[in-house]
Amino acid sequence: MRWTFVNDAYYEEEKAVLKTGDLALQRGYAVFDYFRTSDSQPLFPDDYLDRFFNSASRLFITIPQTREQIKNAIDSLIEKNQIAGDSGIRMLATGGYSPDSYTPVRGNLIIQQHPVALPGKEKFEQGMKIVTHEYMRDFPEVKSINYLMGIWLQQQLKEKEADDVVYFRNNIISEFPRANIFIVTRDGKLATPAQHILHGITRKKVLQLAHEMLPVEKRDISVNELKNAAEVFMTSTTKRLLPVIAIDGNPVGNGKPGKVTRQLYEQFMAMELQYLHAAK
Amino acid sequence: MRWTFVNDAYYEEEKAVLKTGDLALQRGYAVFDYFRTSDSQPLFPDDYLDRFFNSASRLFITIPQTREQIKNAIDSLIEKNQIAGDSGIRMLATGGYSPDSYTPVRGNLIIQQHPVALPGKEKFEQGMKIVTHEYMRDFPEVKSINYLMGIWLQQQLKEKEADDVVYFRNNIISEFPRANIFIVTRDGKLATPAQHILHGITRKKVLQLAHEMLPVEKRDISVNELKNAAEVFMTSTTKRLLPVIAIDGNPVGNGKPGKVTRQLYEQFMAMELQYLHAAK
């Protein structure tokens, strides 16, 4: 049996509910965040909690608990659920039960935990085929629940036999619906968009690691530069690093995972293990 | 006691719930629609049902009931709730309980009914002060639950002592977060944006009425043309027609409700009464 935390108590997953008047349901008004655990050990939880509270604050959402209370609720949830291997913990704060169905009030908090399957070595070697699409999320720095475009595009991805889609606007790329993007330029620099993105935690860790290895630039990247990069990869909590091997039907580099991508992936895996070991 | 319909049964409002795994909560993925009743008599329900099914279809949302079943559920809900005077009925269809929290599956349907206070003569005479804001909704023709921007802007409206905000992009106006916009030009034509808008039912009825009265144009309108219009008004289900008397702090015309706006308002009131009378 799996448990979900709602506001102040733990419920069996099938009994964890919100009333239909909540502003998340009525107006899609809510923020969330999502981190991993490995054998019940949270990975970089403080980074995610920082971002969660920041998202809420940006949208005037009142999380009804303190950070300390949420940490305790997460610890108890992990203890109750006892999920071996990898899991994902999702914290969600809504606009609450708004009397006028429009104005945010005291929010509702949900914390869920599910087992998650991370991509293995095979998936890494296989790489990702992506397409480009003109779009920018509203409030890109905020992890809101608005995924209208990302979900709507799923149908097109199927038709194009693509694994994911990267957004651009005015010819400048930003991010995937649920991941950040990096390129390795032909002259050996690492670059990643600086603005109009969600500031990913995996992105942040990769940037830390990369600074030891090669020149790093946070700046605008055009669609054309993306398509002519030596290497391209994506980062996210559930994907770690995955090589992008084709864009709009054309291969990236020689169409195989690149050397820098592989080095950073290995370093990130080591960083993750080190963190989990130290936190025990 | 008020009742809410969820999927296949009626629940007391406080017990009408969705499980936390629903795609509306997880990803803001849902569509809705909203029509009025007057003394338990629905106003133009078929227009709204058409739009509801169209919104769902555009976002690959599977409404789990037929149109006939929904009509019956609405009739029963109205019968059970017995709300005198004006009420609003909200139909909402979500992306459902998606196993991967991302791919729409069989949707969940919610139908709610609440009393609603419509603006009276005083509110009409007082008029609306509005501001402009650069933005366009994703999928503007679809009545999705995404109101991130509209709700976020509430704080700014308060600070600016404005009643509402009209969106524009590339200098072309589109709509309010929850209403359509019309102008009367200085040479006596009625104009309203043709694209990047939700096609309002009140807008449609007003266009029908206006064709008998003055030349009508559905076309792009610049911010500048808006600000120099002889009259401006907004239309929505809960507002009917309301005059806009100031834009970004400057008066529209002489700063009072205009003649054409008043005539159309009176004609719309008559049309509404006639419909309700005929439908009895």
The three-state (H, E, C) secondary structure of chain B, written as one string: CCEEEECCEEEEHHHCEEECCEHHHHHCCEEEEEEEEECCEECCHHHHHHHHHHHHHHCCCECCCCHHHHHHHHHHHHHHHCCCCEEEEEEEEECCECCCCCCCCECCEEEEEEECCCCCHHHHHHCEEEEEEECCCCCCCCCECCCHHHHHCHHHHHHCCCCEEEEEECCEECCECCEEEEEECCCCCEEECCCCCCCCHHHHHHHHHHCCCCCEEECCCEHHHHHCCCEEEEEECCCEEEEEEEECCEECCCCCCCHHHHHHHHHHHHHHHHHHHHHC
pLDDT of residue B280: 79
Choose, out of B20, B97, B178, the residue to mutate when testing the contact with A (most A CBs < 10 Å): B20
CATH topology of domain B121-276: D-amino Acid Aminotransferase; Chain A, domain 2 (3.20.10)
Query: Which residues on chain B are in Cβ contact (under 8 Å) with A25?
Result: 18, 22, 24-25, 30, 92, 94, 110, 145
Distance from the Cα of A243 to chain B's closest Cα (Å) equals: 22
Region A239-246 average pLDDT: 98
Res. A1 pLDDT band, cuts 50 70 90: confident
In the prediction, which pLDDT does A66 show? 97
For chain A, the average pLDDT equals 97
The pLDDT-based confidence of A279 (bands split at 50, 70, 90) is confident
Among candidates B25, B59, B103 on the partner chain, residue whose Cβ is nearest the Cβ of A24? B25
Q: Hey, where are the domains in chain A?
A: 3-115, 121-276
pLDDT, one tens digit per residue, over B136-195 is 999 999 999 999 999 999 999 999 999 999 999 999 999 999 999 999 999 999 999 999
pLDDT value at residue B1: 86
- Give which of A25, A89, A108 to mutate to test B binding, by max B Cβ within 10 Å: A25
> Tens of pLDDT along A27-85?
999 999 999 999 999 999 999 999 999 999 999 999 999 999 999 999 999 999 999 99
Blockwise average pLDDT, block size 10, chain B, 280 residues: 96 97 98 98 98 98 96 98 97 97 97 97 97 98 98 97 98 98 98 98 98 97 98 98 98 97 98 93
Distance from CA of A261 to the nearest CA of B (A): 27
| pLDDT at residue A51, rounded to an integer | 98
* CATH of range B3-115; options 1.10.10.10, 3.40.50.300, 3.10.20.310, 3.30.470.10: 3.30.470.10
- pLDDT tier at A280 (50, 70, 90 boundaries)? confident
Region A251-265 average pLDDT: 97
Nearest CA in chain A to B143: A27
